[in-house]
């Protein structure tokens, strides 16, 4: 029996089901956003600072409107179901962003918000020093290595900014991570229940948390544990720079989000150590991801081992994470391909962000573009906005540095000519 007619019929049936779902089951805001995405984006060159302003305001609203109303940041706003409960993991690494922006702006409100987040995290820390996986309303919380490492980033930033009130909590988390690491550097105990089983190379992002703790407490073995993990992950890397087991649920087609995690861990390990082998590994990964990006800054949301896109939607979170890594590497290597790619990626994501409209989505960043894509479908995750803020701020910093360097060269040339 010829299966082709059946396959065509099945595809037509699935398409019709999707059409009916879009027409009758989706909320009016979801349908409206899908229609808006089909319009040509504005060509107006809005200042990056306007996007940072609105993104910070949205983070504040996500904290104020969290369904669990506890001082943490709502995991997301969903076009179908509204605000989510607080998410400890991402609240943890939002904290350094708010502290940085609060200092840049002299905005005590942002600093107070970050402190409120810190105090909430301390109140939910497990007796071992670990933190739970999932959102705060998880029925049976369990300690998770990855989530603990992300919250450690916030605890270290809080200790630097606000003092010793957060140091004990920071030490407890870092000590727990070190004590539960396997000898080869991998973390196999206490995995997240929200991912497929097995080793995860993207946990170099946990290693970064330990490196930040090591800056404050250099004699507790934190840096050594972090570098063991980084070298373990590097041992899995292919000649083309790609990493296996670098995804929550698809080891052969990882999200750019988790690729962004592993690359950031490598970059931060290099910045901490100056180790050329780590830089070489980071460069290979960063160069691989470059190959998947279109000339307009669009990056597919999943990439295969040949660095080719395997889906028709973009994971905006991953796009911004990679832009951050490209800019950090550009600063160290002078590779202008990294800079130019980051600027394109940032511009692409800016064109998907609304600076008007409802407060629930104004300044927020979608999980996927288009919004019906697989990653955080119809949602605006808080971590997408966090990485957006970091990427846009870093672009501003790089542009200022280059402008000042160009002006300095001009002054020097003028003086020598005179």
CA distance 361 to 55: 10
Q: Whole-number mean pLDDT of the chain?
A: 93
**Given a cut of 90, is residue 211 above it in pLDDT?**
yes
Instruction: Please spell the DSSP secondary structure of 66-123, one letter per residue.
Output: -TT-SSS-BSEEETTTEE--B-HHHHHHHHHHHHHHHHHHT-HHHHHHHHHHHHHHHH
With 0-12 CB in 10 A as exposed, 13-18 as middle and 19+ as buried, what is 197?
Answer: exposed
173: its two tokens: 């988390």
**Given a cut of 90, is residue 379 above it in pLDDT?**
yes
CA distance 409 to 273: 31
**Given a cut of 90, is residue 10 above it in pLDDT?**
no
The per-residue pLDDT for 35 is 85
Considering the domain 58-236, what is its CATH architecture?
Alpha/alpha barrel (1.50)
User: Do residues 334 and 385 touch, judged by C-beta distance below 8 A?
Assistant: no
The per-residue pLDDT for 23 is 55
Q: Is 351 left (phi over 0), alpha (psi -120 to 50) or beta?
A: alpha
**Given a cut of 60, is residue 394 above it in pLDDT?**
yes
User: Do residues 144 and 131 touch, judged by C-beta distance below 8 A?
Assistant: yes
* pTM for the full predicted model: 0.92
Backbone φ and ψ for 76, nearest 5 degrees, come out as -165, 170
Q: What is the tens place of the pLDDT at every residue in 81-118?
A: 999 999 999 999 999 999 999 999 999 999 999 999 99
CA distance 158 to 149: 14
**Given a cut of 70, is residue 371 above it in pLDDT?**
yes
Backbone φ and ψ for 381, nearest 5 degrees, come out as -75, 145
**Given a cut of 60, is residue 20 above it in pLDDT?**
no
For range 43-50, the mean pLDDT: 84
DSSP assignment letter at 42 = P
Residue 19 confidence class, pLDDT cut points 50, 70, 90: low
**Given a cut of 50, is residue 153 above it in pLDDT?**
yes
CA distance 322 to 316: 10
Single out the residue of 65, 115, 107 nearest to residue 86, CA to CA.
65
Backbone φ and ψ for 157, nearest 5 degrees, come out as -65, -40
DSSP assignment letter at 76 = E
Residue 22 confidence class, pLDDT cut points 50, 70, 90: low
What is the dihedral sign for C-alpha 114, 263, 129, 61?
positive
User: Do residues 360 and 324 touch, judged by C-beta distance below 8 A?
Assistant: no
Find the Cα–Cα–Cα–Cα dihedral 154, 156, 159, 161, rounded to 10°: -70
Residue 413 confidence class, pLDDT cut points 50, 70, 90: very low
Q: What is the tens place of the pLDDT at every residue in 309-355?
A: 999 999 999 999 999 999 999 999 999 999 999 999 999 999 999 99
- Beta sheet of 76-78, edge-to-edge order: 82-83, 76-78, 379-381
The per-residue pLDDT for 113 is 98
**Given a cut of 90, is residue 13 above it in pLDDT?**
no
User: Percent of the chain at pLDDT above 70?
Assistant: 91
The total number of residues shown for the chain amounts to 418
CA distance 65 to 108: 20
For range 54-58, the mean pLDDT: 98
**Given a cut of 80, is residue 418 above it in pLDDT?**
no
Which range has the worst mean pLDDT, 31-35, 101-105, 260-264, 303-307? 31-35
User: Percent of the chain at pLDDT above 90?
Assistant: 86
Total Cβ atoms within 10 A of residue 392 = 23
């Amino acid at each position: 029996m010829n299966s082709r007619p059946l396959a065509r019929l099945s595809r037509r049936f699935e398409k019709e089901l999707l059409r009916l779902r879009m027409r009758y089951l989706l909320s009016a805001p979801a349908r409206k956003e899908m229609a808006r995405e089909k319009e040509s984006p504005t060509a107006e060159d809005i200042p990056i600072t306007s996007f940072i302003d609105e993104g910070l305001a949205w983070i504040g609203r996500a904290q104020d409107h969290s369904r669990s109303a506890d001082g943490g940041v709502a995991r997301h706003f969903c076009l179908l179901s509204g605000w989510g409960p607080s998410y400890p993991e991402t609240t943890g690494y939002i904290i350094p962003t708010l502290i940085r922006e609060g200092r840049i702006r002299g905005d005590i409100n942002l600093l107070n918000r970050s402190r409120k987040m810190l105090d909430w995290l301390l109140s939910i820390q497990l007796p071992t020093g670990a933190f739970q996986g999932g959102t705060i309303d998880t029925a049976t919380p369990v300690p998770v290595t990855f989530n603990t490492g992300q919250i450690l980033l916030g605890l270290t930033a809080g200790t630097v900014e606000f003092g010793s009130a957060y140091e004990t909590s920071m030490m407890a988390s870092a000590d727990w991570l070190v004590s539960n690491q396997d000898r080869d550097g991998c973390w196999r105990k206490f995995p997240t229940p929200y991912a497929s089983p097995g080793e995860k190379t993207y946990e170099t992002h946990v290693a970064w948390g330990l490196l930040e703790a090591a800056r404050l407490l250099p004699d507790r073995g934190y840096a050594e544990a972090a570098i063991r993990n980084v070298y373990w992950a590097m041992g899995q890397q292919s000649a083309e720079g790609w990493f296996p087991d670098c995804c929550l649920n698809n080891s052969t087609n990882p999200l750019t989000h988790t690729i962004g995690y592993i690359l950031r861990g490598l970059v931060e390990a290099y910045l901490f150590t100056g180790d050329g082998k780590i830089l070489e590994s980071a460069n290979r990964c960063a160069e691989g991801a470059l190959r998947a990006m279109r000339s307009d800054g669009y990056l597919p949301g999943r990439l295969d081992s040949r660095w080719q896109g395997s889906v028709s939607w973009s994971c905006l979170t991953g796009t911004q994470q990679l832009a951050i890594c490209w800019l950090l590497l550009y600063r160290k290597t002078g590779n202008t391909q990294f800079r130019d790619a980051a600027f394109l990626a940032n511009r692409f994501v800016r064109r998907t962000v609304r600076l008007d409209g409802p407060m629930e989505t104004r300044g927020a960043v979608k999980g996927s573009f288009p919004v019906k894509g697989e990653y955080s479908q119809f949602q605006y995750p808080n971590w997408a906005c966090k990485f957006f803020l970091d990427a846009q701020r870093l672009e501003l910093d790089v542009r200022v540095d280059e402008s000042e360097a160009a002006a300095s060269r001009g002054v020097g040339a003028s003086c020598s000519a005179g």
